[in-house]
Structure 1
Amino acid sequence: MLLLGIDIGTSSIKVAVVDATTQKCIASCHYPEDTETPIIAPEIGWAEQSPEAWWQHAQHAIVKLNGSGVYDPRDIGAIGIAYQMHGLVLVDKAKNVLRNAIIWCDSRAVEIGDSAFEALGKDIILKKLLNSPSNFTAAKLAWVKAHEPAIYEKIYKVMLPGDFIALRLTGEITTSVSALSEGIFWDFQTNRISEVLMDHFGFDHDLIPTINPLFGIHGLVSNEIAGVLGLKPGIPVSYKAGDQPNNALSLNVLNPGEVAATAGTSGVIYGVSDSMVYDDKSRINTFAHVNYLADDPRVGVLLCINGTGILNRWVKEQFGQGLDYPSMNAVAAEVAVGSDGLRIMPFGNGAERMLENKLLGAQILNLDLNKHNRAHMFRACQEGIAFAFRYGLDIMRANGMSPNVIRASKSNLFLSELFVEIFVNVTGVPIELYENDGSVGAALGAGIGAAFFGSPKEAFATIKPLKTVIPSGSICYEKIYQQWLDLLNKQLI
């Protein structure tokens, strides 16, 4: 049997087909191919995308892959979906989209979420929800209720991005405990939708879709859509998860103490715990992991940096004309450690939760017009991103999450040998690099949900690291990091 994985990213949609027997990816592609999906920003700090554009891009990618001739699309037996977390998608009773999705890096609801946090009592909310409502999905819905009442009145169901793609494939609207926890709708003490939060915001419980197991049937591909995509009708959508829990799954990070990382548009460190971990300031966040059960809890403790790959892309666009990413990395590697004093703060993509939802903006500091050139900019960008990871990892360590090794897919910034070297030496933690990515993880998740695999362990029986990179000990970044940290702390006063 073949398994289809769909990864709804911020920049593009990636799809992969995996042979369930060998657990190997046999074909993959992404769409758009030559550009990136734009983020719509009607106001500073806002971020939106069109759900229908996601769906159109997903269809293009699937049709392209199915037309590759590498496999028979009729052999695909299950579909899994990974998606950008925390987005808000609203549909009416006819299942039409009511407005653009308010996506993960949008900051408009911070004040609403923080106000609810204060009003309901921080201690109570952290014990129940494990997070402040902050600018997560529930707070974004409250923003729509307050500022767009005509739209709010038409809402039939509230969804996360992956729920919407499953709707378009199957006609069914479902969600999961993991999805609801990332939206800050889930009460971990009572193991149900949070009455406290729903009552505070005045939300009707009917807005929440049917809750299904994350590994389970979320609908069957309709006859109409099967015809468009070249698939068999009735294929189950048997897995849906946010991109970071799914990335952890793709790296076989399922047990307490195991840790995954990504460095795409945003940067994330995601560790698994069996304790209801929360940060008093909600700088890191805790959600139900893919294998969460009420009687056997597994939660993901997540550090998110909004501005990582998006900063690297911006630097390339502004200063790297004529260079691809490998060439840019090679130019950066010619500059000495520390970039001759040039420092970059990578915080230009919305409010940063690890900075207590401050909206600092990206900053270039200590720029010397007589000394620095684009090579310094390239290196300082990657150093600044790695320093932000170290800052967040120290918060995780203070909350009991101290990884001995971090697993990552060899993709995005982790394709850069320079970035990997900086990362391991700044954090002091080895990195294991793997071939799997989010779309492959979603495909294997579909195999678990469709019961082709007896367990997640069986689905990842063949996974092995491509490479392990350990701190060299010969390059000391600590002094440089402390200089960067001093500059950041001055901004946070």
Structure 2
Amino acid sequence: MKYVIGIDLGTSSVKVLLVDQEGSIRGEASESYSLIQLKSGYSEQDPELWVTQTAKALNRLVTETNVPREDIGGISFSGQMHGLVLLDQEHRVLRHAILWNDTRTTKQCREIEQKLGENLLKYAKNPALEGFTLPKLLWVREHEPEVYSQAATFLLPKDYLRYRLTGRISMEYSDAAGTLMLDVSAKRWSPEILEAFDIPQHLCPELTGSDERVGTLLPVMTELTGLGEHVQVFAGGADNACGAIGAGILRPGETLCSIGTSGVVLSYEENPDADYEGRLHFFNHGKPDAFYAMGVTLAAGNSLTWFKDTFAQGLSFDELLRNLDQIPPGAGGLLFTPYLSGERTPHADAVIRGSFIGMDAGHSRDHFVRAVVEGITFSLAESIHTLRNSGQQILSIVSIGGGARNETWLQIQADVFDAEIVRLESEQGPALGAAMLAAFGLKWYESLEDCAAAFIRHSKTYKPNPERVQVYADLFKIYQRVYADTKQLNKSLEAYRA
């Protein structure tokens, strides 16, 4: 039996997954690392930890599974997007990486909008948000000119990790799409954007496809990881792109709903000129010559975590959701908006905050739980609504993450989204997508679709109930009004926030 490994470099830990040729998971390991938060809104990480912890996880995976190392043929990567890693001429790290959830760059975002105008969406296909890479680069140039002057190139987190494993500097398209410097449709660094900000072309690394072979392991890395020098290394993809591959989102009309700390709705797209007018993110897919549109709810699962920690300490999530099916749609006239951290889609508003609307003395804790679950789902439905209004046909949605662990919540998704909801038999997320890119790169399968047919198995399908679909359609209209009706109130309250 032959094997591949998928490496998912997350924000708080790295996960490595060993998969055989039939798509069965034969082992996994993970190692954590810490954030560096020097000030409010700052979020950084030491790139060296990515390397040491990944090597440790790989070594443990190889040792504990006891698979002959000559049978492990390839590895590939998934990684947290947008993080800025600056390297000097000798490819040494110049400063800690600035991560995707760092929000210090509001000023630079306004500068990008002012200078590029309509060209920002024309080329980068995405609005200027604090999480993206270009604003971080401009911030370093303004506030740390001595660091910027030494920079020879920049990389994103998993691309830096891959460089340390192989010695090759490169960046693949799905992650490069999140820098705001890539011409997403043309799959090249945008000369128009680079020239507008006087960024030299040599600062941008070579671009590769997600399934492209980029080398083999350096000798020092074979020693640290326990893997053989024959192992083929493939470029990999951004975490959302690999999550899409790992859920089988590889054809037109296929859509993913992922509810973790944040929430994502992601839909496959083949048209490079698709125009969502900045209302949704538009990135290159990990599948060659494909794309995806994506909406984000910043505090999806995090809203439920906040509620549990604040009002139901000591309960597990299963216990908290135990009576979810006992409360009817609409939670007895109670609505929740999950804007605890601001909102990304469709409003891109850092000031807005969450609300409970319609509370009365007859509401129990179970009503509030139902309202939180429905509010999270309504927020994700905003992205579904935008996709459909842009011409996407969405009939079936694969649901993963915390929202796929409760059957009532899965049925709520089917009724709110008015689409069949599919749960996977085994959910491994971006790490599995990375492993599939390695399997495809090794030519185990003729296409990623063939690989998905072997690796991904559906467990159960939830069909929308026509009566509840109509109830939720009416409630969704009310939900959509809450943002506009509370926007000014939240702006007025901003000065009182700690």
Structure 1 residues 483 and 73: alpha-carbon distance in aligned structure 2, compared to 1, 3 A threshold = farther
Match of 1:131 among 116, 126, 130: 126
Query: Which structure 2 segments of 5+ residues have no match?
Result: 489-498
- Is the partner of 2:65 in helix, strand or coil? coil
Cα distance in 1 for partners of 2:480, 2:435 equals 40
Matched, 1:393 2:394: no
Cα distance in 1 for partners of 2:157, 2:220 equals 21
Which deviates further from its counterpart, 302-311 or 325-334? Answer: 325-334
Q: How far 1:284 sits from its partner (Å)?
A: 0.4
Cα distance in 2 for partners of 1:40, 1:362 equals 26
Structure 1 residues 336 and 44: alpha-carbon distance in aligned structure 2, compared to 1, 3 A threshold = farther
Q: Which residue of 2 aligns with 1:444?
A: 436
Query: Which structure 1 segments of 5+ residues have no match?
Result: none
**AA aligned opposite 2:482:** L
How many equivalent residue pairs?
480
**AA aligned opposite 1:392:** S
Matched, 1:339 2:336: no
Q: Which residue of 1 aligns with 2:297?
A: 305
- Is the partner of 1:301 in helix, strand or coil? strand
Match of 1:473 among 466, 469, 473: 466
Does structure 2 retain, via aligned residues, the 8 Å contact 1:138–1:183? yes
Q: How far 1:361 sits from its partner (Å)?
A: 5.1
Which deviates further from its counterpart, 62-71 or 238-247? Answer: 62-71
Structure 1 residues 400 and 104: alpha-carbon distance in aligned structure 2, compared to 1, 3 A threshold = farther
Q: Which residue of 1 aligns with 2:414?
A: 424
Does structure 2 retain, via aligned residues, the 8 Å contact 1:105–1:351? no
User: Where do residues 108-187 of structure 1 align in structure 2 (5 Å cutoff)?
Assistant: 108-122=104-118, 124-135=119-130, 136-187=132-183
Structure 1 residues 175 and 318: alpha-carbon distance in aligned structure 2, compared to 1, 3 A threshold = same
Cα distance in 1 for partners of 2:340, 2:157 equals 23
Q: Which residue of 1 aligns with 2:402?
A: 412
**AA aligned opposite 1:472:** N
Does structure 2 retain, via aligned residues, the 8 Å contact 1:45–1:351? no
Which deviates further from its counterpart, 62-71 or 80-89? Answer: 62-71
**AA aligned opposite 1:159:** L
Does structure 1 retain, via aligned residues, the 8 Å contact 2:112–2:128? yes
Q: Which residue of 2 aligns with 1:3?
A: 4
Q: Which residue of 2 aligns with 1:216?
A: 212
**AA aligned opposite 2:476:** Y
Does structure 1 retain, via aligned residues, the 8 Å contact 2:208–2:235? no
Q: Which residue of 1 aligns with 2:276?
A: 279
Does structure 2 retain, via aligned residues, the 8 Å contact 1:344–1:362? no
Q: Which residue of 1 aligns with 2:496?
A: none
Cα distance in 2 for partners of 1:329, 1:111 equals 42
**AA aligned opposite 1:424:** A
**AA aligned opposite 1:125:** L
Structure 1 residues 210 and 412: alpha-carbon distance in aligned structure 2, compared to 1, 3 A threshold = same
Q: How far 1:194 sits from its partner (Å)?
A: 0.6
Match of 2:62 among 62, 66, 84: 66
Does structure 2 retain, via aligned residues, the 8 Å contact 1:238–1:446? yes
Structure 1 residues 399 and 227: alpha-carbon distance in aligned structure 2, compared to 1, 3 A threshold = same
Matched, 1:244 2:232: no
Q: How far 1:271 sits from its partner (Å)?
A: 1.4
Does structure 1 retain, via aligned residues, the 8 Å contact 2:56–2:224? no
Q: How far 1:351 sits from its partner (Å)?
A: 5.6
For residues 122-152 of structure 1, what are the alpha-carbon distances to aligned partners after superposition, in whole Å with 9 as ceiling and x for unaligned? 1x33232222343321222112212222222
- Is the partner of 2:112 in helix, strand or coil? helix
Cα distance in 1 for partners of 2:442, 2:67 equals 20
Does structure 2 retain, via aligned residues, the 8 Å contact 1:433–1:465? yes
Q: How far 1:414 sits from its partner (Å)?
A: 1.6
**AA aligned opposite 1:17:** L
Cα distance in 2 for partners of 1:24, 1:253 equals 19
Structure 1 residues 313 and 103: alpha-carbon distance in aligned structure 2, compared to 1, 3 A threshold = farther
- Is the partner of 1:17 in helix, strand or coil? strand
Q: Which residue of 1 aligns with 2:494?
A: none
Structure 1 residues 42 and 62: alpha-carbon distance in aligned structure 2, compared to 1, 3 A threshold = same
Q: How far 1:447 sits from its partner (Å)?
A: 1.4
TM-score by length of 2: 0.88
Cα distance in 1 for partners of 2:306, 2:13 equals 16
Q: Which residue of 1 aligns with 2:93?
A: 97
Structure 1 residues 489 and 350: alpha-carbon distance in aligned structure 2, compared to 1, 3 A threshold = closer
Cα distance in 1 for partners of 2:29, 2:317 equals 19
**AA aligned opposite 2:304:** N
Q: Which residue of 1 aligns with 2:483?
A: 488
**AA aligned opposite 1:471:** P
Q: How far 1:458 sits from its partner (Å)?
A: 2.7
Match of 2:370 among 364, 379, 384: 379
For residues 348-377 of structure 1, what are the alpha-carbon distances to aligned partners after superposition, in whole Å with 9 as ceiling and x for unaligned? 34662531x311354242485855554444
TM-score by length of 1: 0.89
Match of 1:76 among 69, 72, 80: 72
For residues 228-279 of structure 1, what are the alpha-carbon distances to aligned partners after superposition, in whole Å with 9 as ceiling and x for unaligned? 2221124222131011111111222222222222222221111122221122
Structure 1 residues 80 and 248: alpha-carbon distance in aligned structure 2, compared to 1, 3 A threshold = same
For residues 325-369 of structure 1, what are the alpha-carbon distances to aligned partners after superposition, in whole Å with 9 as ceiling and x for unaligned? 2222215444443334443322334662531x3113542424858
Structure 1 residues 56 and 191: alpha-carbon distance in aligned structure 2, compared to 1, 3 A threshold = closer
